[in-house]
Amino acid sequence: MYYQRTLKHAIECSGIGLHSGRKVSMRLLPAPPDTGIVFRRVDKEGFEIPANSDYVRRVDFATTLGSSGLQVSTVEHLLGAFYGMSVDNAVVEINAAEVPIMDGSAAPFVYLIREAGAINQNKARRYFRVTRPLEVQEADRWIKVLPSEELRVTYTIAFAHPLIYEQTLTIPINAGTFVDQIAPARTFGFMKDVEALRVRGLALGGSVDNAIVLGESRALNADLRFINEFVRHKILDVLGDLSLAGYPLKAHILVHKGGHRLHTDMAKLINRSSAFNAIESSGEESTAALRLAPPMA
C-alpha cells in the first residue's frame, strides 16, 4: 500500500513573479491527510485557495487559481513539483498573488521539497484510474487520457523556430524521471512577443535568468539544459495543471500542441467524469468523493 505524503518540516524561499515582476516570499508547510495542496495568502488575512480545477480563473500564459476575488497565479511549476515528488498534502503560504518563478523550472522547488523532507501519513493514497478514453480538442490542438497502469506522458509541440520546429517526447513519470528529466526544463518565450506581453501586464519579471528567451534564430541564454528542453517543460506544465484534478492519475496522457487551457479543461473533465474511478493504492475501489477540496461557496 502507498500512503499519502506531506512535508516533514516547513521551508521557505523568495523570488520574483514572472508576470508581476514583484518580490514574493513563500513558505511550504506540512498538512494533514486529505488536505491536498492549499495556497494561503498571508497578505490577505490567511485566505485559502485549494489547488483544484474548480478554482481555475485564468489560463493566459500561466495557470491562475482564485476564489472570492483573490487569486494566486503561475502555480503550475510548484504543483508539478509536488506531483512529481508524490507530495499529496501541503499548505503554501505566500505573501503575493504570484508564485515566484525561481529559475523558470521546477528544479528549485524539488530542492526545497528534498530539504524539507517528505513523510508518509496514516491514510492510503488514492488515484484516478481511467476506465475509458477522454479527449478535449480545440482545432488542431488536443489532449487525450487513455487507460494505463502507470502514469506516462506523450507530448508534441510545434513552433516555427529553428531551435524547436516539432518536438515529441514520451516518458514514464516517476520520482526518478521527473527529477532528472522534467523538473530542470525551463519555461520559454519569444523576444518578438515580449513588448506585447508587457503592455498587457505580463512577463514583467521575465529575463534570461528565469526563462529561455528565443530570438529569431537562437536562444539568448548561454546553453539549453536539454536539446528538447521545450517539450520537456510542456510536460512539466501538464503535470502541474492535471494535478488540479484532485488525485494522481494512472493513465497515459497524450497532448498535441497543448497549453494551460487544454490542460485545465481536461483536469475539470476528469474531476467530473464517470470515466474515472477513485481507487485506493491497494487497488480496491473507493467510495470516497472524487475531489479532495471542498466545493466552492
The answer to whether residue 45 is domain-embedded is yes
The answer to whether residue 209 is domain-embedded is no
Query: What are the grid coordinates assigned to 42, written together?
Result: 498571508
Bridge partners for 12 per DSSP: 27
pLDDT by 10s per residue, the chain, length 297? 789 999 999 999 999 988 788 999 999 999 999 999 999 999 999 999 999 999 999 998 899 999 999 999 999 999 999 999 999 999 999 999 999 999 999 999 999 999 999 999 999 999 998 888 999 999 999 999 999 989 999 999 999 999 999 999 999 999 999 999 999 999 998 888 776 767 676 667 778 888 898 988 889 887 899 999 999 999 999 999 999 999 999 999 999 999 999 999 999 999 887 666 667 775 444 333 233 333 332
Q: Is 252 a catalytic residue?
A: no
Instruction: Find the catalytic residue in 19, 233, 252, 260.
Output: 260
CATH number at residue 109: 3.30.230.20
Question: Distance of CA 147 to CAs 132, 168, 245, 274, Å?
Answer: 7, 20, 16, 14
3-class secondary structure, 142: strand
The answer to whether residue 63 is domain-embedded is yes
The answer to whether residue 235 is domain-embedded is no
* Domain count along the chain: 1
The answer to whether residue 28 is domain-embedded is yes
The answer to whether residue 186 is domain-embedded is no
Range of the domain at 116: 3-125
pTM exceeds cut of 0.85: yes
The answer to whether residue 79 is domain-embedded is yes
The answer to whether residue 191 is domain-embedded is no
Measured CA to CA, the distance from residue 140 to residue 252 in angstroms comes to: 20
